Every structure is written in C-alpha cells, then in structure tokens.
C-alpha cells in the first residue's frame, strides 16, 4: 500500500487502483463476451481437424473436455460481469474465474497431448496444434492484466503440457519440450505486452474520467454560485431579479417580505465577523425550516446582501402572510440563543407587501423596502405592511 504524509495510507491511490481494476475487469469481460462466437467456431474447426487425424480416437476426450472448459469459462465470465458492482460477490466471481481458467488452460494442453504422444505429418496437425497455441496466446493476452487469473490459466496449461511430455517417448519429449518452451515464452511476452497496453488504456480512461468529473463539478459549482449565496445557500439577488423564480401557474396570491436584521453592524463589531456569519447562517436555516413546512411550492428565501433578506410567500390572504411574517420575526429572535451567542440579540424588522398581477418584482420589493423602513423607524423588531 502506498503511504501518504505521516505514514497514513494514501486514500486517493487506493481509490485509483480500485477504479483501475474495475475498468480492466469490465474491459476483459467485454472482450470475452465479444469473443464467445469466435471460440465456438474455433472449437468446431479444431474438432473437425482433430477427427480427421489418423489417431482421431485419441482426440475424443480432449475435444469434449475443451468444450466443457469453454462453457465453464463463459459461465464464469458471465458471473463476473453480474458481480462487477458488488465487491463481495466480485471476489467470489474472481476465484471461480481462476478455477475455470486453470481448467481452460489444462484443456488446451490436453488437446495438444495426442500430437506429442503420436507425432504425424498429417496436415490437420497445423490446425490442431497451431490453432491451440494461437488460442492460448489470445486468452493470455485477454486475461494478462489479471495477474491471478492469468497465472491460473498458464499454470493449468503448463502443468498439463508437462505431464503430456513426461509420458511421451524420451527423445521426442525432449525435442518437443524445448520447442514448446520457446513458444510458451513467446506467448508470455506477447501477453505481457498486451496487458501493459490494457493497463495504460485503463489509466488514460480514469484520468479522463476524473478530469471530466472535476470539470463538471466546477461547472455545477459555478452554476450554483451564479444563483445562490455561498454563505447561506439561499438564492442570491441575481437569481431573484434575473431568474423567473415565481411560478406563473401558481394561482395563489403572492406576498413579499423584506427582512433586515437589527443592529447587525454592532453585533459584527462586538463579536466579530465569524460570529456574524454564524448568525446569518442561523437565520437562513430558520427561513428554510419555516418555508419547508408550508404547503405548496411557491415559497423561497433570498439573501439580498449583508443582513438583508427577501422572502416570497404564496398563501391565501394577507392575514396569513402577516401571521407567517410574525412567526419569522419571532424565530429570528431565537437564533442568538440557538447558536449559543450570549449577550446578543438577533431581532429583525420586516416589511410586507403583495404582488399585483404582472407587476415587476423590483417594484414589489420597493414597496416592501418602504414598509421595512417604517418598521425600523417605529422601533425595530416588528412587522409593517405597505398601505394599499
């Protein structure tokens, strides 16, 4: 495990390796799935060539064994494909795949064994022997990036081939073994090169994916900040005046509240801007909690700037809007105690007005602003409605 600073495991590296492994597994599974028909066709033609040999009887069991191994390998790959997103199931599927591949490697060597025991110059030897070694090299190149599974396949193939060589005539076994050892070494080097390409492709895919995710995250963040206040998470002034936040299909009467925190500058000077930010966040949370419990979807809160907020309500009457405004004023006054701010008050002056049909939103809040200033001049910590 790669270690980060202070000897702690580098979590990013672990996540990167896990993602890379999943990409490689998905690639191997997809390759095997596409090669299934080719495997059946190859088995069919090799079987025909084997049964055309003078010692055709010696190929009956190897051909049947190869077909069984082919089916088991296909089933193991299908099981792995279904388990890619379940870590526990995937581990079991990989163990099953290792066993199936070991059997598959053994089946290819078992198919070559009659050629070692009874050498012949029949033309079909090229199809059976050459086709088998080509197939082995292709399988190893496909699973070479999976070290355990490729080792299992190669072990099954070499162990069975070694047994076949030990039971062949001494002179033939030595000569054939030397040639086959060279061919196997070439196959392994070819598979290693192919697996390196798969690893590099997986690395590039993950890098591009991570870059795309970071870019999308940055775009989402920029889009969010274009309409939301970064401190409180409420809509910002731009969203209120440049975006149609009000649903024209909502038939309920709409009312606007302009909320200004009383003596907020003094609070900032006395307790500091960090505490002031905590108050603003607490007030925003109060707005969200109240609006969340209201029926309908036409309610939202906006931070206009500093300690000034706007709220739009879709309710049945001005009396209901006034009741809600008083509740907001009461709950804002509790924010200081809720955040543990001793010796401070978090009161608010609120101006209330209604929306007229087709009226510009800045005209609405101009009236709400006038009502709010009357609340300020009348002693603060109160709700004033704009006179119709």
| C-alpha neighbours within 13 Å on the C-beta side of residue 308 | 12
Tokens linked to 41:
């066709």
Cα angle, residue 106 at apex, residues 100 and 110 outer, rounded to 5°? 140
Contacts of 80 (CB under 8 A, 6+ apart): 25, 29, 90, 93, 94, 96, 97
319 classed as catalytic = no
DSSP SS3 for 387: coil
Contacts of 168 (CB under 8 A, 6+ apart): 116, 117, 176
Q: Among candidates 360, 233, 343, 219, which has minimal Cα distance to 284?
A: 233
Determine contact, residues 77/35, Cβ cutoff 8 Å: no
Question: Could you say which of 14, 203, 249, 307 is catalytic?
Answer: 307
Tokens linked to 50:
């084997």
What are the start-end ranges of the E strands in 129-195?
Answer: none
CA distance 310 to 348: 12
Q: Please list the active-site residues.
A: 307
């Amino acid at each position: 495990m790669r270690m980060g600073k202070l000897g702690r495991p580098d979590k990013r590296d672990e996540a990167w390796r896990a993602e890379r492994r999943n990409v490689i597994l998905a690639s191997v599974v997809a390759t095997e799935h596409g090669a299934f028909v080719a495997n059946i066709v190859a088995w069919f033609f090799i079987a025909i060539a084997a049964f055309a040999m003078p010692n055709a009887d010696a190929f009956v069991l190897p051909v049947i064994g190869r077909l069984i191994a082919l089916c088991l390998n296909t089933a193991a790959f299908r099981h792995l494909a279904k388990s890619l997103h379940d870590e526990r199931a995937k581990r079991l599927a990989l163990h099953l795949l290792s066993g199936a591949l070991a059997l598959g490697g053994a089946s290819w060597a078992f198919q070559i064994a009659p050629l070692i025991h009874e050498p012949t110059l029949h033309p079909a030897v090229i199809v059976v022997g050459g086709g088998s070694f080509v197939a082995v090299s292709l399988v190893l190149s496909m699973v070479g990036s999976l070290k355990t599974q490729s080792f299992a396949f190669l072990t099954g193939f070499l162990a069975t081939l070694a047994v076949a060589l030990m039971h062949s005539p001494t002179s033939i076994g030595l000569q054939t073994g030397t040639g086959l050892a060279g061919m196997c070494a070439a196959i392994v080097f070819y598979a290693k090169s192919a697996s390196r390409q798969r690893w590099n492709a997986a690395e590039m895919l993950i890098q591009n994916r991570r870059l795309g995710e970071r870019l999308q995250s940055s775009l989402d963040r920029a889009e969010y900040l274009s309409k939301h206040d970064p401190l409180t998470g409420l809509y910002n002034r731009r969203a209120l005046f440049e975006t149609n936040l009000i649903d024209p299909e909502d038939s309920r009467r709409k009312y606007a509240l302009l909320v200004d925190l009383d003596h907020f500058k003094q609070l900032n000077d006395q307790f500091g801007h960090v505490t002031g930010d905590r108050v603003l966040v607490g007030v925003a949370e109060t707005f969200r909690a109240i609006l969340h419990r209201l029926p309908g979807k036409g309610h939202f809160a906006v931070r206009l700037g500093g300690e000034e907020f706007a709220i739009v309500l879709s309710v049945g009457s001005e009396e209901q809007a006034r009741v809600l405004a008083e509740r907001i004023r009461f709950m804002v006054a509790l924010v200081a105690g809720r955040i543990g701010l001793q010796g401070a008050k978090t009161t608010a002056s609120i101006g209330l007005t209604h929306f007229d049909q087709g009226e510009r939103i800045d005209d609405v809040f101009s009236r709400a602003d006038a009502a709010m200033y009357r609340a300020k001049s009348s002693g603060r910590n109160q709700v004033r409605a704009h006179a119709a």
